[in-house]
Structure 1
Amino acid sequence: MSKAEELRRKVKRRKIIIQAVLIGVSLLVVYGGFTTARTNLAAQGLTSGFGFLERSTGWDYSFSLVQKDIRDPYARTLFVGFLNTLFVGSIAIVLTTLFGFLIGTARDASNLAVKTAATVYVQIFRNIPLILQLVFLYAVLINLPGPRQAMSLADTVFMSNRGMMLPGLSVSPGIAVALLLASLAMGVLLIWTKLPFFRGLAVWIGGSIVLCLAVTAAFRPEGAGMFSVPELKGLRFRGGITIPIELFGMIIAITLYGSAYIAEVVRGGLAQVPKGLTEAGQALGLTKAAIWSRIKMPMALRSIIPPLGNQWIFMMKATTIGVAIGFSDLFYIVSISITQSGQTLELIAILMGAFLLVNGGLAVFTNWLNARMKLKAH
């Protein structure tokens, strides 16, 4: 055996020993913390374990995508909160990405007025804390007129202190959420096929519309039309889609805040595209739109995707601010559950596990998307 090979083996053994020691110490710390917590809970007469998940909660909350009842067990109530978090996070990610790309492109524009307006937007919403924006927006929304004096647009869209009422498909909330997930899956499939940007966008929008109409025709209530329009009956609106004031405030606040950060990511990616490529496009007689869609954006995406994934993860974590205005996301449900059940450690573990699962999935998707966008060596 050569001296070089013997040295490599010694280094390898030393690394294995160091790693084993670190893992052992970490396990001892975790075990010590667990046993100490269990001893303290027992001293206070509190039981540990997840058996409480089968107990009835006995309390209500504001928003749910599925049918709920005050007698639901903790397991179902936590699942409802998890669905609400996924719902708000998914909408926020889509909207912040769309607005972020729009504003980031405006910041890269040659028109001074457009560029200045986009810069002012970014500086305002990026530098004010998100929770402050949410509380301010919520204070404005709850002081809007009541349903009888609601602001209306063409007598089809209404805005009051109860929320926003919109025309919608005649399907249950559960089917609507399934349609949203199917549309997102269709978008991922189109990314996999690597269609050109505008063609893929047109196929995605068209396919989503056809899917929604087909599902509505199959699952709408008997005698109902394809669309349901909100109508004021008594002191509340019936029909259509009602977006509660807490949900509306959450979506708007996260979108305004997150799109400012994504705009900077997009602007930075566009700035990294070599000027020679755009000049070559101009020399070929391409329009500004063609240069943006066929040269600048495809090249910029390769540097945009990794930081964009970080922003998506942040948008999902930002849903926890809903506790400030009483929106029943997972963090709010866990907070109330801790107060009512006393199972602090178990509920915090569930909360951390849920966010690890969701954000881990987003990280995997970002890595996959980044790999798909890389230039292939020939």
Structure 2
Amino acid sequence: MSDTSTLASTQSAKPPWYRDSAIIKWFSQIAALLVVVGVAIFVATEAKANLDAKNITTSFGFLEINPGFDISEGIDKNPNTGGRALWVGMVNTLRMATVGIVVASILGVLIGIARLSDNWMVHRAASTYIEAVRNIPVVVQILIYAAIFGGLGRLTQDSEFLWGLGAISSKGLSLPRLFASDGFYQWMVFIIIGAIIGWFVRQKRQALQDSTGRITYPNLYWLGVIAAFAAVGWFIHPVFTFFEQIFDAFGNAWDSIPVFVMQFLLAALVVTASARWIRNFLDSKRTPAGLAKLIDDDYFRIIFSALGAIIGLAVIFVVWPGLSSWIINSGADFWHFLADKFDNRTGQPIDGMMPTIVGEGTLLRYGPQGLTMTVWFAALFAGVTVYTSAFIAEIVRGGILAVPKGQTEAAMAVGLTRTQALRQVILPQAFRVSLPPLGNQYLNLTKNTSLGIAVGYADVVNVGGTVLNQTGQALSVIVIWMLFYLGCSLTISIVVNWWNIRLKLVER
């Protein structure tokens, strides 16, 4: 009997602290964090010592100095500071990545569907496209497109086509350009009002469709309301010029906010956000019997949320005390900017210009009136878009094959055509499976835009390399590169993860 009780007490005895799994897990995590921080401090210290030994100063002062060079294309071809030059490169990279992601997605979906076609010719053509494009390095494709576009012929007055609507040559493609004119912002007020009212109309039509089963075209009604408000606003948009006084008042009120009040508001926002996240997280762990037992990972999440609030407070009050002043000044500038856009402007909302060819003899060039796509932009765009679309096509094909065959049979049984079944039943479920790998391809496309340096496209890497050579600030420029691409990667990941959550099946 005593042996049995001794065995039971031994089995129920709490293990020593150095064998407790929770303590071991916490200790290992904290130790790993300290090691990472220690290595980072050591590397930074050694780098600073080596740079000081070679009399190399590292700073970001070059961002305020004239870089002394022009940029071939972008929002500012003659930047007056290094920071402005890098910003032009960033905008060029973002423009390429954004357009490339959209076009590559459309092309990839079409080719992925064609890959599963019952038509032998369509199926083989899609398969050949995918296998050929995927196995040619993207930089080689970019160079091939650059050679093709560069051999289109010299720019002459005869380079125009479609009765002067466009011009194409070895200097690029120039098309008519549309731009926001004087009354654009007043017109946008009508469109925003139409979008809000149209959303309520859409909700009504959707509820009617759900309750009766009758097709009510809710999205079409929503677009119709927006179009109606846009059409009316095109003629009477000057009625909203009174917004100038409203935005001016907002700007003056924003500019009068004391710095300490803004600091208090920012601190309250950070603390409130952290507290609400912790509260919502704990609420998600509640059951009818009460709060469920939290595991170590839950405690880590709560601690990191609180730690994030502490770091935010440190940034507001210690690391960057001028943040509040910057927000006040930027906010006031924003409101005054809007006020200026509503300053008794009565012109049409959107205007356009036709492409022109200027110069004489052999020194012809495209004028600034048209929308010009340079050879370098076209080569990089075609290269990264076509290359990425081949991978997206295979991802879409895999997603479609992952949808149970019974879904297709059920869609056909209720009378849907092949196109309707694909659009309303198969593709929505396929994208739920395909979205995570699609996000990886979007990241790859964004990073592949740096290969534009091979054809002279003025992306952030190309411009940053020139700034680096002009100033010698290699470490600073590389840090800016890292932060920029990190921001792009995190932004794409956040958007893809958010959309992935939206596509989750909601079970009862």
| TM-score, normalised relative to structure 2 | 0.63
Q: Percent identity over the alignment?
A: 32
Please give the per-residue CA displacement for 1:154-198, whole angstroms capped at 9, x wherever unaligned.
5322211111111221449xx9xxx9xx9xxx9xxx9xx9999x9
1:236 to 365, 370, 373: 365
Q: Is the 8 A contact 2:17 2:23 kept in 1?
A: no
| Equivalent in the alignment of 1:270 | 400
Unaligned runs of 5+ in 1: none
Q: Which of these two proteins has the greater Rg computed from alpha carbons? A: 2
Q: Is the 8 A contact 1:100 1:266 kept in 2?
A: yes
Amino acid at match of 2:365: R
More off after superposition, 3-12 vs 306-315:
3-12
The answer to whether residue 88 in structure 2 is matched with residue 80 in structure 1 is yes
Amino acid at match of 1:345: L
2:449 to 313, 319, 331: 319
| Equivalent in the alignment of 1:226 | 351
The answer to whether residue 242 in structure 2 is matched with residue 112 in structure 1 is no
- In structure 2, do the counterparts of structure 1 residues 221 and 340 end up closer, same or farther at CA, with 3 Å as the change threshold? farther
The answer to whether residue 470 in structure 2 is matched with residue 340 in structure 1 is yes
| Equivalent in the alignment of 1:357 | 487
Distance between the aligned counterparts of 1:240 and 1:43, measured in 2?
53
| Equivalent in the alignment of 2:66 | 56
Shift of 1:240: 2.2
Q: Is the 8 A contact 1:141 1:245 kept in 2?
A: yes
| Equivalent in the alignment of 2:36 | 26
How many residues were matched structurally?
359
- In structure 2, do the counterparts of structure 1 residues 344 and 256 end up closer, same or farther at CA, with 3 Å as the change threshold? same
Shift of 1:205: 12
More off after superposition, 228-237 vs 162-171:
228-237
Shift of 1:303: 0.1
Aligned residue for 2:20, secondary structure, equals helix
| Equivalent in the alignment of 2:174 | 165
Please give the per-residue CA displacement for 1:58-84, whole angstroms capped at 9, x wherever unaligned.
11221112x3425x2111111111111
User: Matches of residues 244-259 of structure 1 in structure 2 within 5 Å?
Assistant: 244-259=374-389
Distance between the aligned counterparts of 2:231 and 2:442, measured in 1?
26
Distance between the aligned counterparts of 1:199 and 1:319, measured in 2?
39
- In structure 2, do the counterparts of structure 1 residues 278 and 222 end up closer, same or farther at CA, with 3 Å as the change threshold? closer
The answer to whether residue 147 in structure 2 is matched with residue 139 in structure 1 is yes
The answer to whether residue 57 in structure 2 is matched with residue 47 in structure 1 is yes
Distance between the aligned counterparts of 2:163 and 2:220, measured in 1?
29
| Equivalent in the alignment of 1:101 | 109
| Equivalent in the alignment of 2:305 | none
Amino acid at match of 2:452: G
Shift of 1:301: 1.3
The answer to whether residue 498 in structure 2 is matched with residue 373 in structure 1 is no
The answer to whether residue 411 in structure 2 is matched with residue 281 in structure 1 is yes
Amino acid at match of 1:237: Y
Shift of 1:296: 0.8
1:16 to 22, 26, 29: 26
Distance between the aligned counterparts of 2:95 and 2:481, measured in 1?
16
Please give the per-residue CA displacement for 1:264-313, whole angstroms capped at 9, x wherever unaligned.
11010011111111112222222111110111111111101111111111
Aligned residue for 1:226, secondary structure, equals strand
- In structure 2, do the counterparts of structure 1 residues 244 and 168 end up closer, same or farther at CA, with 3 Å as the change threshold? same
Please give the per-residue CA displacement for 1:322-376, whole angstroms capped at 9, x wherever unaligned.
1111111111112112211111111111111111111101101111000101110
Amino acid at match of 1:122: I
Shift of 1:212: 12
Distance between the aligned counterparts of 1:258 and 1:205, measured in 2?
35
Distance between the aligned counterparts of 1:51 and 1:212, measured in 2?
50
Distance between the aligned counterparts of 2:138 and 2:110, measured in 1?
21
* RMSD (Å) for aligned C-alpha atoms: 3.6
Amino acid at match of 1:80: V
Distance between the aligned counterparts of 2:490 and 2:402, measured in 1?
28
Q: Is the 8 A contact 1:165 1:241 kept in 2?
A: yes
Distance between the aligned counterparts of 2:28 and 2:355, measured in 1?
66
More off after superposition, 3-12 vs 107-116:
3-12
Q: Is the 8 A contact 1:171 1:221 kept in 2?
A: no
Aligned residue for 2:118, secondary structure, equals coil
Distance between the aligned counterparts of 1:74 and 1:48, measured in 2?
15
| TM-score, normalised relative to structure 1 | 0.84
Distance between the aligned counterparts of 2:148 and 2:65, measured in 1?
38
- In structure 2, do the counterparts of structure 1 residues 117 and 282 end up closer, same or farther at CA, with 3 Å as the change threshold? same
Amino acid at match of 2:100: A
| Equivalent in the alignment of 1:155 | 164
Unaligned runs of 5+ in 2: 1-8, 207-214, 239-340
